[in-house]
């Protein structure tokens, strides 16, 4: 029982300063398996927190632990290889590469990714690449971008880029997926499908930490919610508790929530 | 110098710089690394190859070595050639290690800083090589460059006629094959574009021909030639296919130049000499196959191997990671690829190819000194790669050929102007290339061929092809 409730990600007093701006002011929280929401007003430090967790920025203080190991200051690829993958708030598609190539890039530990293997093409090279290609096609189908498989990613619409980014992240078979506003700009039907998909994956054992501004989505899909405000964690709790918390209503939800 | 000799020398230079450009393309075209210090590895390759094969205590050489590898291997059959290959290999390894040293600190920098730092390091090392005589003889350069098998040339097969027949046949076959490939490519060009390309070729050739006659014809001839280029530009603008009319134009100009010029200067025998270009009637008693032509074949073989090697590298998951780094390094990092390693490897691979080019260059030119390795060489290669189309290995071949043909081929203009204008003309020729580059970037920013397509080698039914 202890193992189950152990947090997979622990953020301990992380600080980040940009010149005079305090983006993260000693934020601490734990993430357990399942789906966790991260909410907070614009500029609260949510994206910066993602950067500090995934190694894209070195925190100026505090530490980050994944599955009991200190990953503070590790390179992004090292963090990713431990099983933490992230998406970006502004999609980072690879514009001159096709959607197919964007996706086929993602699976980890492909044999043909080493320089010598790309020359020698020995055992497993073709099988591995076939697998990567097949998975790329499957992912594209699941996220409804298979009709643009051979289009350069730079020609996709904003929503399609979001989908590509999500599909690509999931192809790395991560333990924990950090999604930075994955639903922004996606149409409602597709939004439902993505959320269903996240639910299915969560049931399969993937964990999610996702930033979202739509409180209804958070209420419906998250087991836990973390609220950030001015670089700190305002509170962490179950969705219902968060929604009715006075501090959260004041800082973020305003009059819209009952 | 016969036209054929000029052609051989031009093709050798094009081959050497194509090899050099293929290395740059790995770094810049496919990985996005703006290495303004690429010539450093060319210089390294040239000096290492030369010094490893230089005799001990060569006359008027006061630098490190020589290590006299050919003499050490003189007991082995073809020892001189073997020594040369070993030297090239050593040069590639040394250049790769040097680029590792340069790359580890600089590749962590943002890309614009990489460009400046790489240029700085290359310039510093160039200055050191130039100023320190104890290193590689400084500004005096290195003579006595080992030219493997040179003693066996010119190769003669017995009599003049046999030489003419055999080497001539090979020459004609090579021309025929190239003609066939060009024709195959041009086939299907729409009629109007073909007509315009042909008209443009006639105008250019006639114009340059008139200019070549000198006197008052120079200005008019040049104007007619320019008119030809304008017609060509319009023809290309109309055709949907861009490369085909251009290839037709180039082929026609080449034929006119290669066969027409000697016809006017030497009559039918001149045409024959151009057709059997691999045969040099003036070499030795019976004519034969010269060393320069042999070096050309070696250079072309190097390019063929390097081309295949680069294609294999970029048409793979490895190449996909390289391109993802070029597009946005954060993405492969976030997906768990150790991009720093890839960038270092890309530098090392590209630099090793540059070093092989340097070794070939030294063998071709037979004397090296620091003036041959100035930063211009890097920028020439960037220009060639961009003209042909960055991230396109075939584009490197095309771009390098266009660049060096213009650069070297326009040298004949000097003959028709008073000598006091030589410096201005040299500058004008570089400007001409600059104008070409601007025209290409304006009308076709992706270069003549644009980025190539990729195929990781998994069959299309499996979804492995990308167009
Ligand atoms: N590169 C940067 N340089 C300077 N300041 C930055 C930088 N990135 C973020 N900040 C600042 O840090 C604070 C937190 O920004 P962050 O992007 O993490 O907010 P966020 O919670 O993701 O907001 P949003 O909901 O709008 O995406 C903001 O005040 C922002 O201006
Ligand atoms: Mg944000």
pLDDT, tens only, B384-398: 999 999 999 999 999
User: What confidence score (pLDDT) does residue B459 get?
Assistant: 60
- Taking residues B335-359, what's their average pLDDT? 97
- Taking residues B266-291, what's their average pLDDT? 88
Q: Which has the higher per-residue pLDDT, A101 or B57?
A: A101
Quickly state the pLDDT bin for B429 (edges 50, 70, 90): confident
Contacts of A128 in chain B (CB under 8 A): 317
Nearest-by-Cβ selection for B335 from A97, A133, A172: A172
Pocket mutation for ligand 1, best pick of A11, A15, A46, A211 (most atoms within 8 Å of C-beta): A46
Nearest-CA distance from A21 to chain B in Å? Answer: 23
Contacts of B321 in chain A (CB under 8 A): 105, 113
Q: Would you say residue A55 has pLDDT above 60?
A: yes
Counting ligands in written order, the one closest to the CA of A213 is 1
Q: Would you say residue A16 has pLDDT above 80?
A: yes
Nearest-CA distance from A1 to chain B in Å? Answer: 31
Is B29 an interface residue toward A (CB < 8 Å)?
Answer: no
Quickly state the pLDDT bin for A255 (edges 50, 70, 90): low
* A174 Cβ closer than 6 Å to some ligand 1 atom: no
CA distance B100 to B372: 24
The H or E element that residue A226 is part of is strand A224-229
- Taking residues B30-52, what's their average pLDDT? 96
Quickly state the pLDDT bin for B466 (edges 50, 70, 90): very low
CA distance A184 to A213: 9
Question: How far is the centre of ligand 2, averaged over its atoms, from the C-alpha of A47 (Å)?
Answer: 4
Q: CB-based burial of residue A216 (10 Å sphere; 0-12 exposed, 13-18 middle, 19+ buried)?
A: exposed
The mean pLDDT value of chain A amounts to 90
Quickly state the pLDDT bin for B4 (edges 50, 70, 90): confident
Q: What φ, ψ does residue B444 adopt, rounded to 5°? A: -155, 80
Q: Would you say residue B338 has pLDDT above 90?
A: yes
Any idea where the domains of chain B sit in the sequence? 13-153+290-373, 157-288
Cα separation values, B407 from B205, B394, B401, B445, Å:
18, 20, 10, 21
List, as one string, the DSSP characters of B218-247: HHHHHHHHHHHHHHHHHHHHH-S-SHHHHH
Q: Which has the higher per-residue pLDDT, B16 or B219?
A: B16
* A230 Cβ closer than 6 Å to some ligand 1 atom: no
- Helix (H/G/I), strand (E/B), else coil: B369: coil
Q: State the CB neighbour count (10 A cutoff) for residue A109.
A: 11
- Taking residues A57-78, what's their average pLDDT? 94
Q: Do A112 and B316 touch (CB under 8 A)?
A: yes
Least confident of B132-146, B279-293, B421-435: B421-435
Q: Do B327 and A134 touch (CB under 8 A)?
A: no
Q: Do A114 and B318 touch (CB under 8 A)?
A: yes
* A45 Cβ closer than 6 Å to some ligand 1 atom: yes
User: What confidence score (pLDDT) does residue B373 get?
Assistant: 97
Closest to A172 measured CA to CA, from A150, A201, A192: A201
- Taking residues B428-443, what's their average pLDDT? 84
Range among A127-136, A213-222, B418-427 rated most confident? A127-136
User: What confidence score (pLDDT) does residue A5 get?
Assistant: 58
The tokens 């509170």 sit on which residue?
Answer: A235
User: What confidence score (pLDDT) does residue B467 get?
Assistant: 40
Per the CB < 8 A criterion, the answer to whether B304 and B10 are in contact is: no
Residue nearest to atom 8 of ligand 1 (CA): A48
Q: Which residues of A128-140 are buried (b: 16+ CB within 10 A; e: fewer)?
A: bbbbbbebbbebb
ipTM of the assembly?
Answer: 0.92
Quickly state the pLDDT bin for A258 (edges 50, 70, 90): very low
User: What confidence score (pLDDT) does residue A2 get?
Assistant: 41
Question: How far is the centre of ligand 2, averaged over its atoms, from the C-alpha of B194 (Å)?
Answer: 56
Cα separation values, A67 from A4, A70, A198, Å:
12, 9, 21
Would you state the structure tokens that stand for residue A37, as one six-digit string? 């929401």
Contacts of A97 in chain B (CB under 8 A): 320, 323-324, 327
Q: Would you say residue B250 has pLDDT above 50?
A: yes
Percent of the residues in chain B that have a pLDDT greater than 90, as a whole number:
56
Percent of the residues in chain A that have a pLDDT greater than 70, as a whole number:
96
Q: Enumerate long-range contacts of B71-78, CB under 8 Å, 24 or more apart.
A: B78/B149
Is B458 an interface residue toward A (CB < 8 Å)?
Answer: yes
Q: Do B466 and A56 touch (CB under 8 A)?
A: no
Per-residue pLDDT of B223-244, as tens digits, reads 888 888 888 888 776 666 778 8
- Helix (H/G/I), strand (E/B), else coil: A61: strand
Q: Would you say residue B416 has pLDDT above 70?
A: no
User: What confidence score (pLDDT) does residue B179 get?
Assistant: 94
User: What confidence score (pLDDT) does residue B110 get?
Assistant: 75
List, as one string, the DSSP characters of B260-327: IHHHHHHTHHHHHHHHTTT-BTTSTTT-BB-HHHHHHHHHHHHHHHHHHHHHHHHSSHHHHHHHHHHH
User: What confidence score (pLDDT) does residue A159 get?
Assistant: 85
User: What confidence score (pLDDT) does residue B281 get?
Assistant: 86
Q: Would you say residue A166 has pLDDT above 60?
A: yes
CA distance B234 to B249: 13
- Taking residues A5-10, what's their average pLDDT? 84
User: What confidence score (pLDDT) does residue B461 get?
Assistant: 47
Domains and CATH numbers, chain A: 1-9+16-93+157-258 (3.40.50.300), 95-155 (no CATH)
Least confident of A130-139, B11-20, B94-103, B442-451: B442-451
- Taking residues A137-147, what's their average pLDDT? 91
- Taking residues B301-328, what's their average pLDDT? 96
Counting ligands in written order, the one closest to the CA of A44 is 1
User: What confidence score (pLDDT) does residue B239 get?
Assistant: 64
- Helix (H/G/I), strand (E/B), else coil: A225: strand
- Taking residues A220-244, what's their average pLDDT? 90
* A23 Cβ closer than 6 Å to some ligand 1 atom: yes
Per-residue pLDDT of B171-222, as tens digits, reads 999 999 999 999 998 888 888 888 888 999 999 888 888 877 777 777 888 8
Q: Do A129 and B349 touch (CB under 8 A)?
A: no
User: What confidence score (pLDDT) does residue B464 get?
Assistant: 44
* A48 Cβ closer than 6 Å to some ligand 1 atom: yes
Q: Could you give the residue ranges of the DSSP H alpha helices within B54-190?
A: 69-72, 79-106, 111-131, 133-136, 160-186
Name residues 302-331 of chain B within 8 A of A (Cβ): 309, 312-313, 316-321, 323-324, 327-328, 330-331
Task: Record the pTM.
Answer: 0.92
Per-chain residues with Cβ under 5 A from ion ligand 2? A 47, 89
Pocket mutation for ligand 1, best pick of A15, A17, A18, A178 (most atoms within 8 Å of C-beta): A18
Closest to B434 measured CA to CA, from B358, B396, B380: B380
User: What confidence score (pLDDT) does residue B307 get?
Assistant: 97
Question: How far is the centre of ligand 2, averaged over its atoms, from the C-alpha of A41 (Å)?
Answer: 9
- Ligand 1 nearest atom to the CA of residue A228, by list position: 21
Q: Do A108 and B458 touch (CB under 8 A)?
A: no
């Amino acid at each position: 029982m202890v193992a189950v409730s152990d947090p997979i990600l622990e953020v301990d007093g992380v600080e980040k300063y940009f010149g005079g701006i305090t983006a993260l002011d000693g934020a601490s929280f734990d993430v357990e398996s399942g789906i966790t929401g991260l909410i907070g007003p614009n500029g609260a430090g949510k994206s910066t927190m993602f950067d500090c967790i995934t190694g894209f920025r070195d925190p100026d203080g505090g530490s980050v632990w994944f599955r009991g190991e200190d990953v503070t200051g590790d390179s992004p690829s090292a963090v990713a290889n431990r099983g933490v993958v992230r998406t970006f708030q502004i999609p980072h598609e690879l514009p001159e590469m096709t959607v197919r190539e964007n996706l086929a890039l993602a699976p980890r530990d492909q044999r043909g990714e080493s320089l010598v293997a790309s020359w020698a093409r020995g055992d497993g090279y073709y099988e591995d690449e076939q697998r990567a290609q097949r998975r790329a096609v499957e992912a594209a189908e699941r996220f409804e971008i298979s009709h643009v498989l051979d289009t350069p990613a730079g020609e996709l619409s904003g929503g399609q880029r979001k989908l590509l980014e999500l599909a690509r992240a999931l192809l790395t078979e991560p333990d924990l997926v950090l999604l930075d506003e994955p639903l922004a700009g996606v149409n409602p039907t597709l939004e439902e499908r993505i959320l269903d998909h996240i639910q299915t994956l969560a049931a399969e054992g993937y964990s999610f930490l996702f930033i979202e501004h739509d409180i209804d989505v958070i209420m419906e899909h998250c087991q836990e919610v973390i609220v950030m405000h001015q670089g700190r964690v305002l509170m962490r709790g179950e969705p219902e508790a968060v929604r009715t918390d006075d501090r959260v209503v004041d800082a973020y939800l305003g009059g819209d929530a009952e | 110098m016969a036209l054929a000799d000029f052609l051989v020398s031009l093709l050798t230079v094009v081959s050497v710089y194509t090899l050099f450009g293929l290395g740059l393309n790995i770094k810049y075209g496919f990985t996005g690394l703006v290495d303004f210090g690429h010539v450093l590895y060319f210089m390294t390759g040239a000096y290492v190859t030369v010094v490893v094969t230089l005799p001990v205590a060569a006359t008027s050489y006061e630098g490190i070595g020589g290590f006299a590898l050919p003499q050490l291997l003189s007991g082995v059959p073809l020892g001189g050639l073997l020594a040369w290959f070993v030297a090239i290999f050593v040069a590639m390894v040394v250049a790769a290690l040097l680029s590792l040293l340069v790359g580890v600190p600089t590749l962590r920098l943002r890309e614009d800083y990489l460009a400046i730092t790489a240029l700085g390091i290359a310039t510093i090392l160039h200055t050191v090589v130039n100023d320190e005589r104890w290193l590689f003889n400084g500004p005096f350069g290195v003579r006595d460059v080992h030219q493997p098998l040179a003693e066996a040339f010119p190769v003669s097969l017995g009599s003049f006629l046999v030489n003419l027949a055999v080497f001539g046949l090979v020459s004609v076959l090579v021309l025929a094959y190239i003609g066939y490939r060009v024709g195959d490519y041009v086939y299907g060009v729409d009629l109007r574009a073909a007509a315009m390309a042909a008209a443009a070729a006639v105008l250019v050739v006639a114009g340059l021909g008139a200019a070549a006659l000198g006197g008052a014809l120079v200005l008019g001839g040049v104007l007619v030639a320019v008119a030809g280029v304008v017609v060509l530009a319009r023809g290309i603008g109309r055709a949907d296919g861009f490369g085909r009319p251009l290839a037709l134009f180039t082929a026609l100009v080449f034929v006119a130049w290669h066969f027409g010029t000697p016809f006017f200067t030497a009559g039918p025998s001149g045409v024959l000499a151009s057709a059997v270009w691999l045969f040099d009637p003036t070499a030795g008693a019976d004519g034969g196959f010269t060393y320069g032509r042999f070096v050309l074949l070696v250079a072309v073989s190097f390019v063929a191997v390097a081309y295949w090697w680069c294609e294999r590298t970029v048409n793979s998951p490895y190449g996909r990671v390289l391109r993802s780094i070029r597009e946005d390094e954060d993405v492969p990092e976030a997906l768990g690829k150790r991009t720093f390693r890839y960038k270092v490897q890309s530098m090392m691979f590209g630099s090793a190819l540059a070093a092989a080019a340097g070794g070939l260059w030294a063998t071709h030119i037979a004397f090296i000194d620091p003036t041959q390795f100035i930063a211009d060489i890097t920028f020439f290669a960037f220009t060639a790669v961009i003209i042909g189309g960055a991230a396109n290995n075939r584009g490197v071949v095309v771009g390098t050929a266009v660049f060096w043909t213009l650069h070297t081929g326009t040298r004949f203009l000097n003959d028709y102007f008073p000598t006091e204008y030589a410096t201005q003309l040299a500058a004008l020729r570089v400007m001409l290339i600059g104008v070409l580059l601007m025209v290409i970037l304006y009308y076709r920013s992706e270069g003549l061929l644009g980025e190539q397509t990729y195929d990781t080698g998994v069959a299309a039914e499996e979804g492995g092809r990308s167009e």
